[in-house]
Amino acid sequence: MATGATMKVEVVSPERVLFSGVATQVITRTESGGEIAFLPGHTSFLGVLTENHTRIYLEGGKVQNLAVHGGYVEASGGHVTILSDNAELAEDIDVTRARAAKERAETAMRGEHDAAVEADLRRAHARLSATGGLGNS
């Protein structure tokens, strides 16, 4: 690793390691505090994640976008780990399917508000945001 300008990042689900590499910054969203950014040397942190568009900034300016559907984030010792039951790399997301899920959830929300429907809508937003498709829906 370069002189403190990078950190090790891993995104892990029960099925596989979705991402493992070196990054300059990670931005994700916790349930209690909104978005949080981790930079090299960040103080130790453990938080509960909500559905969100997580961004991992790689050396050279590339960004790895992910849709994270809950889980935990831990930062310590120059390492950031995201553990999620369900997370998706942006390139693996079916945008058409995500838009259809968003439309179904929005239609259902016009009726009775239901926690499951709200969660469906948050997941659809996370997927579309990660792919850059949220503004074009």
Both 109 and 82 in one domain: the answer is no
> CATH code at 46?
2.60.15.10
Both 72 and 113 in one domain: the answer is no
Cβ distance 13 to 81 under 8 Å? no
68 vs 49: CA distance, rounded Å:
8
What domain range includes position 101? 94-131
Q: Tens digit of pLDDT for each residue in 52-103?
A: 999 999 998 899 999 999 999 999 989 999 999 899 999 998 888 888 888 8
Mean pLDDT of all residues belonging to the chain: 88
Cβ distance 50 to 70 under 8 Å? yes
Average pLDDT over residues 13-41: 93
φ and ψ at residue 98, rounded to 5 degrees = -65, -40
Q: Is the pLDDT of residue 46 over 70?
A: yes
Both 57 and 122 in one domain: the answer is no
> CATH code at 108?
1.20.5
**Under 8 Å CB-to-CB from 107, ≥6 apart: which residues?**
none
Question: What pLDDT is attached to residue 4?
Answer: 52
Q: How many domains does the chain have?
A: 2
Distances (CA, A) of 16 to 49, 81, 127: 18, 13, 19
Q: Tokens 């553990």 sit at which residue?
A: 83
Q: How confident is the model at residue 110 (pLDDT cuts 50, 70, 90)?
A: confident
Closest CA to 98 of 71, 76, 130: 130
Length of the chain, in residues: 137
